[in-house]
Amino acid sequence: MDPREYPQPSNVVRLADRDLEKNILPQYGIRLSCGVERLRYAEDTSLVGSGGELYLRFTTSASCLDTLVHSLGMTDDSASEPHAVMGDQLDYHFRDVPESYGWTFNPTATYSAYDQAIGERKRIYLVVDPNGKDKDIYLIAETD
């Protein structure tokens, strides 16, 4: 098991050992082309069809965040600009994140949030904690 992967319950069915950089990130159209730290991830794949969800959490610089956002097509128009969201409003997309991942948001803090369709079958939800020099990133990618 990749040490960056969140521990999974023993009853989770894994289709095969999949490499994050070679298999998982490309499936969701994500490239981490610059430095990230404290990377953790989990993938929840469907046993029927090719759909699934990828959970990524990491810390990066503001310039690397800009590169990532641009590579995901989130800066092409005003509809893809980040929205200021209070921590207590993040439940909608993040309510299904397992508690064991430790993704907690300060309910009174303001976060930058992106929500972007990538083609017809992919969607990215990205939340940035804008405090501090380095940025804490929470990302959910979904495929059908």
How does pLDDT run across 25-81, given as a tens digit for each residue? 998 889 898 889 999 999 887 565 567 889 999 999 999 998 998 888 776 554 556
Residue 11 near residue 106, CB atoms below 8 Å: no
Integer Cα distance of 134 and 114 in angstroms: 18
Secondary structure percentages of the chain, helix, strand, coil, to 5: 20, 35, 45
pTM of the model: 0.87
